[in-house]
Every structure is written in structure tokens, then in C-alpha cells.
Amino acid sequence: MEYDYEGILASYRDKYAALAEQAAPRSIERQTYEQIVRLIVQNKTEPLKKRAFQLTLTFLSFATTSSKSEVRAIYRQCGLDLNRDLGLEPWSF
């Protein structure tokens, strides 16, 4: 099955940009949402499928290594949702 990686990543970029705008200024949530957006828009030269997989791994890695629980929760949810939406279900995180 072929996925619209560009469309999926664009929807995540838009979703987390909107969440960042709604979060309180200078809050840890806002900073985390903004970081997710920055990670999504960087490395646009990578093949989309590879970039999407790497983002999933990055978000799930941050979910285990971040020091604040609210940051871990945001990264974990983003990583798990991206994993599901990209059809990477066989990879259990």
C-alpha cells in the first residue's frame, strides 16, 4: 500500500503549528509543539518515506529521554499517531 507521506507530514506540521499557537506563550507545551514543527520541516531533501520513518523514531526517542513528563507525553502521542498514520504498525514502540 502506498501512502501520501507528503500529505501526512503536512497535516502533522499544520496540526502542531496550530497547537503551538493555542498553547500559552513560553510554555513547555508550546516549545515542544514548535520543536515538532521544526523537525518536520527540516531535511526536506530526504526521501519522504525515509524522512517520515526517521521522524517517528525521533519523536518516540524523545518520548523516552525528555526530562519532563508533559514533554514525553506529547512526543509519545505524536510518534504513535505518526506510526499509525504511516502504516508502520509492524514496528511496535
> Where do we find the cell 503551538?
20
Domain enclosing residue 68, as ranges: 5-85
- Looking up residue 36, the CATH number of its domain turns out to be 1.20.1440
- Look at the chain and report how many structural domains it folds into: 1
Give pLDDT tens digits for 28-84: 999 999 999 999 999 778 888 889 989 999 999 999 999 999 999 999 999 999 988
Cα 81 to Cα 10, 55, 75, 86, 93: the distances in Å are 14, 12, 10, 9, 11
pLDDT value of position 91: 55
Q: Would residue 92 count as lying in a domain?
A: no
Please give the model's pTM, rounded to 2 decimal places. 0.89
Looking at the predicted structure, is the pLDDT value of residue 1 above 70?
no
In one-letter notation, the amino acid at residue 21 is E
In a domain, 11, yes or no: yes
- Distance from C-alpha of 48 to C-alpha of 8, rounded to nearest angstrom: 10
Question: What type of residue sits at position 76?
Answer: R
Please answer whether residues 51 and 72 qualify as being in contact, where contact means their C-beta atoms are separated by less than 8 angstroms.
no
